[in-house]
Amino acid sequence: MPPHAELLYANHLHYVKGCAEKALATGGFDHLLIAAGVEKYAFLDDRPYPFRCNPHFKAWLPLTRHPHCWIAFTPGKRPTLAYYLPDDYWHLPPEAPAGYWTEHFDIQVITDPAQAIAALPRTGRCAIIGEPDAALPGLVPNNPQPVIDYLHYQRAFKTPYEQALLRRASQRAVRGHVAAREGFLHGLSELEIHRAYLAATGQTDFELPYGNIVALNAHGATLHYQYQQAERPARARSLLIDAGADEQGYAADITRTWASDDGAFASLIAAVDQAQLALVDGVRSGTDYRDLHLNAHHRLASILQAEDIVRMSPESQVETGVSATFFPHGLGHLLGLQVHDVAGFAASAAGGSIDKPEGHPHLRLTRVVRPGMVLTIEPGIYFIDSLLAKLRQGPHAAAVNWERVEQLRPYGGIRIEDDVICTDAAPENLTRDAFAQVQAPVGLE
């Protein structure tokens, strides 16, 4: 729980209720109903998947492991929480409602999911947000678009309460990254590094906001590498680890790349790191994120030229698409209740979308950056066989130093990702701040 959580949460809930009121008015609705969601079961099995809470529900309450709960909000009234507390001796049920948030809700404890009906309004127009399988008799999620558009657009602006939780998520994740680096330098396998990460963060696989990417050597060239090999490699040249943590429903999303020697790949990491810091400094109010993404391409192209990997000017690399061979994804995305938080393309609270730059289909954020937004900055340089093969067969193959590429291919790739808050002045780098705290000498934290 962050310091002064009670006051931070009270102010946060006031903001959330204000957004809900405006969203309901926009759509012409009287009540907002939000389903936490239900457990989902494997096909032809009685084994449930790990429960993932509806993000709209988490925006109101720090409850992430509570299926079958409902929130009901009517403007001018205290919100109601139907809190599911089953009599279950097969599994450990939730504890009774407790904590700094409880005084703000009328809480009705239910022991059967169907009992939620009695706690929810049945007259007037209801905007019901949830998945179809959360439906109760007479209460079917309709997810009205005007309401969703308004709530999603406003979710980009994080309250001080949310920012405090995001700081704590970053601090937790960074402890894992420090442990992962130590494991890598001691020659551990991907699976062993992953386990060291979990131990340092104090979270399980199910609690993580997304599956860890733990990529040794050439595996770092796979952007969303999904395996964790148990066997230790004969030589651990590099580690790319993209791993986060969760704090009461809010996510950290951090990537680091390490080299085992001081050669050419380490030099490339250092260059990308400096470019990344310059891009973080560009997270200023009024900056068009699309421009920041294109800036990243020019900076990375300059590195490719300086490191004698591509013998073209940065401008030519970007114009011809050569830079996209080595940096094929977007610069980053919004972050919060979801790792890739919603409304990255939203033109306004009324809907609509802002186009991606031509030739950059994988960018996840096109909005103008404003104070309160939390986003990631994650440039990278990769040596991806399939993309390199296309480049080798294309009209610009002669501009590539293929000998240099072959030297670097066994290292896979580089990505450096920080979580950043846009403020009224300089950006707040949650990730770098957390690393500075974890790595500070004892007594100086």
C-alpha span between 7 and 4 (Å, rounded): 6
Distance of CA 334 to the CA centre of its chain: 7
Residues 14 and 88 grouped into a single domain: yes
Residues 147 and 173 grouped into a single domain: no
- The number of residues making up the chain comes to 445
Residues 331 and 296 grouped into a single domain: yes
CA-based nearest residue to 167, from 441, 433, 438, 436: 433
Residue 342: both structure tokens together = 């919603």
If phi > 0 it is left, if psi is from -120 to 50 it is alpha, else beta; for residue 190 that is alpha
Residues 319 and 431 grouped into a single domain: yes
Q: For every one of its 445 residues, what pLDDT tens digit does the chain have, with 9 covering 90 and above?
A: 556 889 999 999 999 999 999 999 999 999 999 999 999 999 999 999 999 999 999 999 999 999 999 999 999 999 999 999 999 988 888 899 999 999 999 999 999 999 999 999 988 999 999 999 999 999 999 999 999 999 999 999 999 999 999 999 999 999 999 999 999 999 999 999 999 999 999 999 999 999 999 999 999 999 999 999 999 999 999 999 999 999 999 999 999 999 999 999 999 999 999 999 999 999 999 999 999 999 999 999 999 999 999 999 999 999 999 999 999 999 999 999 999 999 999 999 999 999 999 999 999 999 999 999 999 999 999 999 999 999 999 999 999 999 999 999 999 999 999 999 999 999 999 999 999 998 654 333 2
Residues contacting 74, CB < 8 A, separation 6+: 30, 31, 32, 121
Q: Is 111 helix (H, G, I), strand (E, B) or coil?
A: coil
CATH of residue 288's domain is 3.90.230.10
C-alpha span between 306 and 5 (Å, rounded): 48
Q: Which amino acid is at 198?
A: L
Per-residue pLDDT reduced to its tens digit, 287-320: 999 999 999 999 999 999 999 999 999 999 999 9
Domain boundary among 155, 177, 197: 155
Measure Cα distances from 323 to 60, 149, 396 in Å. Answer: 42, 34, 11
CATH of residue 25's domain is 3.40.350.10
Q: Are 354 and 346 in contact (CB under 8 A)?
A: yes
Q: Are 226 and 149 in contact (CB under 8 A)?
A: no
Residues 142 and 223 grouped into a single domain: no
DSSP 210: S
Residues 318 and 374 grouped into a single domain: yes
Residue 375: both structure tokens together = 């986003």
C-alpha span between 303 and 17 (Å, rounded): 47
The separation between the first and the last C-alpha atoms of the chain, rounded to the nearest angstrom, is: 19
pLDDT of residue 347: 98
Per-residue pLDDT reduced to its tens digit, 320-347: 999 999 999 999 999 999 999 999 999 9
Residues 95 and 216 grouped into a single domain: no
Beta bridge partners of 215: 240
Residues 232 and 327 grouped into a single domain: yes
Helix (H), strand (E), coil (C) string for 251-307: EEEEEEEEECCCCHHHHHHHHHHHHHHHHHHCCCCCCEHHHHHHHHHHHHHHHHHHC
Domain count across the chain: 2
Helices (H), 186-263: 190-201
Residues 361 and 407 grouped into a single domain: yes
Q: Are 232 and 190 in contact (CB under 8 A)?
A: no
Residues 133 and 199 grouped into a single domain: no
Q: Which domain holds residue 339?
A: 160-438
